């Protein structure tokens, strides 16, 4: 079974690599525009490129995580508040839905004007976008939970605070986790876009764009693959952690 | 028969010493939206319901669908206020527990068996060791037929319906309530498990001596478990009849084949069906 699973997991990537190599070998495409996979992976073997790419990954990761954490903390707190007080939620529902529907990249210029061109504007935009997603999911979790458990706790003698912290908080965890899973991907997307648009000297977004402008396409693809690997890794991590903590979900 | 204040001489003293728990003239209406006009209409669900819950009688409430039985339980538990009428308690600080029909929605899936049962003690700040010990000894006392010690660290979703129902009972019983209200607790269980859990509940009741009000949808279950069956009418519900079940305790399963059992069951069905369909039994 392990062999079958291994085969299933590597079949897709292997197929893409082989097709990619075949297309390159056919001579139909200028190797300057599409280098062979071997040339791309050779970039990782170059110690200077590898070091510079690792720094890019780290920078992008730190920016995305900082924004994600800001968004997660404020999103959970506001989401619980808005889920609890339906009347307040209704006052802000339109605003939340409007900004959630607005493509986040469109807000980069005003964020630059407000917070400068350094890390602050990038991290805050990530935080803002993540917070909106987390608010919506958390508030829905609080609002749509089954009232039976809270009622049971009340009958068993729980105070209002005990009901909140021993029943409602754990009950809302699955909804919060869904919001966090969506926003961690969003955080990476916005960080990479922000790195491309706001003048920055380092970061995966910046490097991908610079390498394209310099026609250093193997380096560009090497950075893209790392961006994908980073996104995959944080997604897996958050799924594993939430399945561990929220072991009862879906059972 | 509407008057149920005629306990046998042997039990009368007991009942008096503990005071009377009386549901007295409870009425309740809800405002509903009319499905056609959208206008709010007042719909009465409970109409002057009066009956007693004596300490030494297993009381079963039996009535048609949507007759407001759950609302009545919530009112007795203090979760909802009646429009009129009072719940007369022997002591004002009596502990009343309500077990909802759907145990899946009322257990805490993030807590294991012992943590679920110990929850009321956790609320009052009892130490972890003490409350786990209390949960273990309660389970050993009332649940050894249903749950083995290997299951104590399992989560509710890893257990069967009957086992989950036992956790819900134990969680309510761990603080020794004076009155336990149960809302169709066994409706979702299969036949065998239902048998088992009925006996588990009766055994717990006999050993821990709490007052009990049990809602059932099954005449057979009502007669098997009850000393007193309170029959409710259609909505707005009032008490149609209070039927004493003089079958002896401890009851054995064989009692279900006895003539007395059959006659009691028929009597209740007769009252119930004539209320529901306005006629007597199909076979007279």
pLDDT at B15 over 80: no
For residue B9, the model assigns a pLDDT of 38
Distances in Å between the Cα of B177 and the Cα atoms of A229, B59, B98, B114, B120 are: 57, 16, 10, 18, 11
**Nearest C-alpha in A relative to B173:** A156
For residue B18, the model assigns a pLDDT of 64
Global confidence as pTM: 0.83
Select the residue of A157, A170, A173 nearest B124 (Cβ to Cβ): A157
For residue B183, which phi and psi values (nearest 5 degrees)? -105, 95
- Cβ distance A158 to B102 less than 8 Å, yes or no, reads no
For residue A62, the model assigns a pLDDT of 96
Within 8 A by CB and 6+ apart from B219, the residues are B62, B265, B268, B269, B272
Residues belonging to chain A with any Cβ–Cβ distance to chain B shorter than 8 Å: 146, 148-149, 151-159, 162, 166-167, 170, 173, 246-248, 251
- Residue A196: pLDDT band by 50, 70, 90 thresholds? very high
Chain A positions touching B109 (Cβ under 8 A) are 248, 251
For residue B19, the model assigns a pLDDT of 79
pLDDT at B2 over 50: no
- Candidates A22, A38, A13; CA nearest to A221 is A38
- Cβ distance B100 to A157 less than 8 Å, yes or no, reads no
Select the residue of A162, A167, A248 nearest B155 (Cβ to Cβ): A248
For residue B279, the model assigns a pLDDT of 60
B230 Rama class: left (phi>0) / alpha (psi -120 to 50) / beta:
beta
- Candidates B7, B2, B62; CA nearest to B222 is B62
Report chain B's mean pLDDT, rounded to a whole number: 87
Q: At what angle do helices A169-197 and A108-115 cross, to 10 degrees?
A: 80
Mean pLDDT of B211-232: 93
Is-contact B45 B28, C-beta < 8 A? yes
A107 Rama class: left (phi>0) / alpha (psi -120 to 50) / beta:
alpha
Q: Where are the beta strands (DSSP E) in B12-151?
A: 22-33, 40-52, 58-62, 84-88, 96-99
What is the spatial distance between Cα A32 and Cα B206, in angstroms, rounded to a whole number? 87
- Within B20-156, where are the H helices? 69-77, 103-106, 113-117, 119-123, 128-142
- Residue B67: pLDDT band by 50, 70, 90 thresholds? confident
How many CB contacts within 8 angstroms connect chain A with chain B?
A: 52
Span B126-148, pLDDT tens digits: 999 999 999 999 999 888 888 99
Mutate to test the interface with A, among B113, B118, B123, B168 (most CBs of A within 10 A): B123
Residues in chain B: 284
Q: Give the gap in angstroms from C-alpha B92 to the nearest C-alpha of chain A.
A: 15
What is the spatial distance between Cα B197 and Cα A31, in angstroms, rounded to a whole number? 75
- Residue B13: pLDDT band by 50, 70, 90 thresholds? very low
What is the spatial distance between Cα B140 and Cα B119, in angstroms, rounded to a whole number? 18
Select the residue of A152, A159, A247 nearest B106 (Cβ to Cβ): A152
For residue B284, the model assigns a pLDDT of 44
* CATH number 1.10.3720.10 given to A40-245: yes
Mean pLDDT of A4-29: 91
Select the residue of B97, B108, B155 nearest A149 (Cβ to Cβ): B108
Q: Is beta strand B179-183 parallel, antiparallel or unpaired with respect to B84-88?
A: unpaired
Chain B positions touching A157 (Cβ under 8 A) are 120, 123-124, 175
Span B181-196, pLDDT tens digits: 999 888 888 888 899 9
**Nearest C-alpha in B relative to A150:** B106
Q: Give the gap in angstroms from C-alpha B272 to the nearest C-alpha of chain A.
A: 30
- Cβ distance A154 to B120 less than 8 Å, yes or no, reads no
For residue B6, the model assigns a pLDDT of 42
Mutate to test the interface with B, among A160, A162, A173, A248 (most CBs of B within 10 A): A248
- Cβ distance B102 to A148 less than 8 Å, yes or no, reads yes
- Residue A198: pLDDT band by 50, 70, 90 thresholds? confident
Mean pLDDT of A89-104: 93
For residue B282, the model assigns a pLDDT of 54
**Nearest C-alpha in A relative to B78:** A155
Chain B positions touching A251 (Cβ under 8 A) are 109, 157
**Nearest C-alpha in A relative to B175:** A156
Distances in Å between the Cα of B51 and the Cα atoms of A49, B32, B59, B78 are: 85, 28, 10, 17
For residue B66, the model assigns a pLDDT of 77
pLDDT at A83 over 90: yes
Mean pLDDT of A135-163: 93
What is the spatial distance between Cα A97 and Cα A99, in angstroms, rounded to a whole number? 6
**Nearest C-alpha in B relative to A163:** B123
Select the residue of A148, A153, A248 nearest B110 (Cβ to Cβ): A248
pLDDT at A90 over 80: yes
- Residue B4: pLDDT band by 50, 70, 90 thresholds? very low
Q: In chain B, which residues fall in CATH 3.40.50.300? A: 1-90+179-185+211-279
Which CATH number applies to B1-90+179-185+211-279?
3.40.50.300
**Nearest C-alpha in B relative to A247:** B110
Span A43-75, pLDDT tens digits: 999 999 999 999 999 999 999 999 999 999 999
For residue A130, the model assigns a pLDDT of 97
Chain B positions touching A154 (Cβ under 8 A) are 79
What is the spatial distance between Cα A31 and Cα A97, in angstroms, rounded to a whole number? 45
Span A106-128, pLDDT tens digits: 999 999 999 988 899 999 999 99
For residue B86, the model assigns a pLDDT of 93
Q: In what order do the strands lie in the sheet with B211-216?
A: B96-99, B179-183, B211-216, B58-62, B228-232, B239-244
- Residue A136: pLDDT band by 50, 70, 90 thresholds? very high
């Amino acid at each position: 079974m392990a062999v079958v699973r291994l085969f299933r997991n590597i079949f897709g990537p292997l197929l893409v690599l082989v097709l990619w190599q075949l297309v390159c070998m056919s001579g139909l495409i200028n190797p300057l525009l599409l280098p062979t996979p071997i040339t791309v992976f050779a970039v990782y073997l170059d110690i200077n490129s590898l070091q510079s790419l690792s720094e890019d990954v780290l920078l992008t990761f730190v920016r995305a995580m900082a924004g994600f954490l800001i968004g997660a903390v404020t999103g959970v707190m506001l989401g619980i508040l808005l889920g609890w007080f339906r009347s307040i939620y209704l006052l802000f529902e339109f605003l939340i839905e409007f900004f959630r529907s607005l493509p986040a990249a469109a807000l980069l210029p005003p964020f630059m004007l407000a917070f400068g061109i350094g890390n602050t504007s990038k991290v805050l935009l990530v935080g803002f976008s993540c917070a909106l997603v987390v608010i919506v999911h958390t508030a829905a979790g609080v609002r749509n939970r089954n009232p039976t458990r809270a009622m049971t706790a009340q009958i068993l003698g729980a105070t209002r605070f005990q009901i909140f912290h021993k029943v409602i908080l754990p009950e809302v965890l699955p909804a919060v986790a869904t919001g966090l899973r969506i926003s961690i991907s969003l955080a990476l997307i916005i960080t990479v876009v922000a790195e491309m648009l706001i003048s920055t000297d380092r970061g995966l977004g910046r490097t991908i764009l610079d390498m394209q402008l310099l026609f250093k396409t193997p380096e560009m693809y090497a950075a893209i693959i790392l961006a994908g690997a980073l996104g995959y890794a944080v997604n897996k991590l958050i799924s594993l952690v939430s399945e561990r903590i929220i072991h009862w979900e879906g059972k | 028969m509407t008057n149920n204040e005629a306990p046998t001489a042997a039990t009368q003293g007991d009942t008096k010493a503990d005071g009377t728990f009386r549901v007295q003239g409870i009425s309740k209406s809800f405002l509903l939206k009319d499905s056609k006009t959208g206008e709010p209409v007042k719909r009465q669900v409970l109409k002057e319901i009066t009956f007693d819950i004596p300490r030494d009688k297993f009381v079963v409430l039996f009535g048609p669908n949507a007759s407001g039985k759950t609302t009545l339980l919530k009112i007795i538990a203090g979760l909802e206020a009646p429009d009129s009428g009072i719940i007369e308690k022997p002591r004002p600080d009596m502990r009343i527990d309500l077990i909802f029909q759907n145990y899946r929605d009322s257990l805490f899936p993030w807590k294991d068996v012992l943590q679920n049962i110990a929850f009321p003690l956790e609320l009052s700040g009892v130490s972890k060791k003490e409350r786990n010990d209390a949960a273990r000894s309660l389970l050993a006392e009332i649940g050894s037929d249903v749950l083995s010690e290997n299951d104590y660290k399992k989560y509710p979703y890893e257990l069967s319906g009957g086992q989950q129902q036992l956790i819900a009972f134990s969680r309510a019983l761990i603080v020794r309530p004076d009155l336990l209200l149960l809302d169709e607790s066994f409706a979702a269980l299969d036949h065998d498990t239902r048998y088992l859990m009925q006996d588990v509940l009766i055994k717990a009741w006999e050993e821990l001596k709490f007052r009990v009000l049990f809602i059932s949808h099954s005449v057979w279950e009502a007669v098997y478990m009850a000393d007193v069956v309170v029959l409710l009418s259609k909505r707005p519900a009032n008490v149609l009849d209070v039927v004493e079940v003089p079958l002896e305790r401890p009851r054995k399963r064989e009692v279900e084949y006895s003539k007395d059992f059959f006659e009691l069951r028929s009597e209740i069905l007769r009252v119930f069906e004539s209320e529901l369909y306005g006629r007597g039994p199909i076979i007279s």
